[in-house]
Amino acid sequence: MTEKITMNNIVKRYDKEVTVLDDIDLTINEGEFFVMVGPSGSGKSTLLRMIAGLEDITDGVMKIDDNVINHLPPKKRNLSMVFQSYALYPHMTVRDNILFGLKARKVNKEEQQKRLHETTEMIGLSDYLDRKPRQLSGGQRQRVALARAIVSQAPICLMDEPLSNLDAKLRANMRIEIRRLQRQFGLTMVYVTHDQVEAMTMGDRIMVLDSGKIQQVGRPIDLYNEPANLFVASFIGSPKMNIGTVQKDIAGKKFIIEGELAIDVPDRVIEGLQDIPNITVGIRAEHITPPEDGKEIHTLEVVNVENLGNETSIAFDVGQEIWTAKWPGQWDIKVGEATPVNISHEDFAYFDSDTTQLIRSSRSALREGDEIDAVQQQ
């Protein structure tokens, strides 16, 4: 049986002065893969440890289902946890590491062996049960840590940056494996990472934390298309959203970005933004496109080119900013060239520079969101 986690006004302070987490209101649904993401020091691992019972709650109420768990010890919370460091016992075999928790809970031996066989077969460890951790690769050790969590059959599984010690290829494989196991067992999974690519590819929903405060909670595609503020816009997406400050040329019906890029803007857009004194725009890399007949063309200087085979990443100078475009396929473009590009006001998200909050999303982002919603509803 899966369980939901509810947090009301959760606060974490050290020495009554340093506030690490402030006013966290959050519900993690039953059977959900929920990802907490943010830069180092944002408070995400601390919050995970508070769910686990490894950190005290300074203020607020935390519940699993309808039960308050603020002062409940970890062993009574009916959850498992996978750490970044694997936390395996070096003197024990893989078998004993996996079964350690079951033995501590005095689960009968027949049930232990049944769970061990099912889990190790599924996760690909059957041939390694008599090995010690030092005889395993990093990926195999991480599988042992996963198996130990799964074999407990706890309805909630917490993961604290479990893939950060693995190489890129293995990380990609393990992402798929963890997601598959979570779906298969119907676990409520809470996953902490600083890697927004992991967050985007794994989560049913993502919570972005910064300086101990929730910046936004939502589906990955919603955070990508409609970031709540400039922090989320610059954190979610690879590459990050291109950002630039705006000067309004009302008479010329233009917005001048970073003092040099003039974009034609219709009256309805200008009127909708005229009461905002300071505006910042954002545009995703895929919306700076190759020149196309009938569209507004601008010329930008190329400062870097990365040809990845399936796509080309091109960096441009825009005032004090560097903007990145992603073009499908292979493009023979040289650094230093003045290259024509298509940039439209429709593809801009508009932010209030003073509050950093989103004013309006880009039309292209909203279109893409509608298309995804339509597919999911079919």
41-57 pLDDT tens trace: 999 999 999 999 999 99
What is the band of 364 on the pLDDT scale with cuts at 50, 70, 90?
low
When pLDDT is cut at 50, 70 and 90, the band that residue 373 belongs to is very low
% of the chain surpassing 90 pLDDT:
58
Is residue 377's pLDDT more than 60?
no
Residues 6+ positions from 90 with CB-CB distance below 8 Å: 132, 133, 134
Tell me how far the alpha carbon of residue 75 is from its chain's centroid: 29
pLDDT, average across residues 78-99: 87
User: Quick one: pLDDT band at residue 162, thresholds 50, 70, 90?
Assistant: confident
Which pLDDT score, from 0 to 100, does residue 129 have? 92
Q: What is the pLDDT of residues 288-306, one digit of tens each?
A: 999 887 677 899 999 999 9
Q: What pTM does this model have?
A: 0.88
Please report the beta strands in the chain, taking only residues with DSSP state E, as ranges in sequence order.
5-14, 18-28, 33-37, 59-64, 67-68, 79-82, 156-160, 188-193, 205-210, 213-218, 242-249, 254-257, 261-264, 279-283, 297-307, 311-318, 321-328, 338-342, 349-352, 358-360
Tell me the pLDDT band of 168, cut-offs 50, 70 and 90. Answer: confident
Asked whether residue 28 carries a pLDDT value surpassing 90, the answer given is yes
Structural domains in the chain, CATH included, are 5-226 (3.40.50.300), 231-377 (2.40.50.140)
Element (H, E) at 180: helix 168-185
CA 338, CA 318: separation in Å to the nearest integer? 12
Q: Give the bridge partners for 67, in sequence order.
A: 64
Residue range 308-357, pLDDT digits in tens: 999 999 999 999 999 999 999 999 999 999 999 999 999 999 999 999 99
- Rounded to whole angstroms, the Cα distance separating 202 from 215 reads 19
- Per-residue pLDDT at 367 exceeds 60: no
| Prior bond of 266 cis (ω within 30°) | no
CA of 54: how far to CAs of 8, 30, 72, in Å? 18, 22, 10
Task: HSE, CB side, 13 Å, CA atoms: give it for residue 241.
Answer: 28
Q: Is the pLDDT of residue 374 over 50?
A: no
Q: Which of helix, strand or coil describes residue 311?
A: strand
- Predicted local distance difference test score (pLDDT) of residue 352: 95
- Which position has the higher pLDDT, 252 or 373? 252
